[in-house]
Amino acid sequence: MQHAFWGRVEEDWAGFSCGVTFSHPFFEGKEVEIFLGDEFDEEDELIEEPPIEKELNAYAETYQSFIENFDVILIDLQQKTFERYQKLYAHYYENSEKSGVSPLNIDAVEKHIIFIKELNSLRISKNKTIRLSINYQLDTEHGLEFKIIDNKIEMVGGIAET
């Protein structure tokens, strides 16, 4: 399938992807795939039908708005990942008795952002929703995923938890 904005849309390893990629200097310019639509339906069945033209057009609008607002979203993303670190990980990484190594001394957003620079993918779905997946260096097993609706981070969790 061919689309005016997305180029070639085809089935991929995690749903449907396109000819457009996402990158940003914060993520060291790494280009990642953009997936269009959800991978699974409400019954956890793999979606095998490609998005229709109307959905692809809506995804394009969502993506363009996301790009225009990404610098503001990124500031919120950095803050929310630091807060998540403080809540779930600091008790381990800041305590040498628990971790077995020297504390990381992560006490500010600026000290934490070096651990969230590895972008995995971006998925656009209905209702102006984007999921951004990051390989979190302090928890590579779970990673980080952000559910962004209409350019606002609505949920932060491990990959596939949002």
Q: What is the structure's pLDDT at 138? A: 95
80 lies in some domain: no
pTM of the entire predicted model: 0.91
Rounded-to-integer distance, Cα 128 and Cα 93, Å? 36
Which domain, by its residues, includes 7?
2-69+118-157
31 lies in some domain: yes
89 lies in some domain: no
Q: What is the pLDDT of residues 22-39, one digit of tens each?
A: 999 999 888 999 999 988
Does 77 have pLDDT greater than 90? yes
DSSP string, 47-113: P-SPPPHHHHHHHHHHHHHHHHTHHHHHHHHHHHHHHHIIIIIHHHHT-HHHHSS------SHHHHG
101 lies in some domain: no
Cβ 81 vs Cβ 75: under 8 Å: no
Domain count, the chain: 1
Residue 119, token pair as written in the block: 């972008």
SS3 category, 43: coil
